[in-house]
Structure 1
């Protein structure tokens, strides 16, 4: 059973060509689109996070 699984895994690894350029470009387009759509929320979240970090760092000093 283990030998069979090992051969199946090796066959799978040999036949996979990897991720193509088109797939990478499509993923990047989707990610950039999400960033553009949620830009305001991302900025608000980052500002809140850095304010909390700043406030908590003042408590340490």
Structure 2
């Protein structure tokens, strides 16, 4: 009886079906939470980068 339980417990731990989906969902959830926490900082960073790129493009094409 004990060996049967050990075999079933071992088979349970070796089975990884569906594990990939759960990991992907957890990663996506963490990325969304981080994006929401740093939303204002990310928007400000992107606006600064786009402003610098626009200024440099104006310098290049103004000549």
Query: Do Structure 1 and Structure 2 share a fold, with TM-score over 0.5?
Result: yes
**Residue 48 in 1 paired to residue 48 in 2?**
yes
Structure 1's consecutive aligned runs of 4 or more residues displaced over 4 angstroms after TM superposition are: none
The 2-side partners of 1:42 and 1:31 are apart by 13
The 2-side partners of 1:20 and 1:44 are apart by 34
Once the two structures are superposed, what CA deviation does each residue of 1:27-46 show, in whole Å capped at 9, x if it has no partner? 00000000000000000000
Structure of larger gyration radius: 2
TM-score by length of 1: 0.69
Q: Which runs of 5+ in 2 are unaligned?
A: 1-15
TM-score by length of 2: 0.67
Aligned length: 45
After the TM superposition, which residues 23-42 of structure 1 pair with which residues of structure 2 at under 5 Å, given as runs? 23-42=23-42
Q: Which runs of 5+ in 1 are unaligned?
A: 1-15
* Cα RMSD, aligned residues only: 1.7
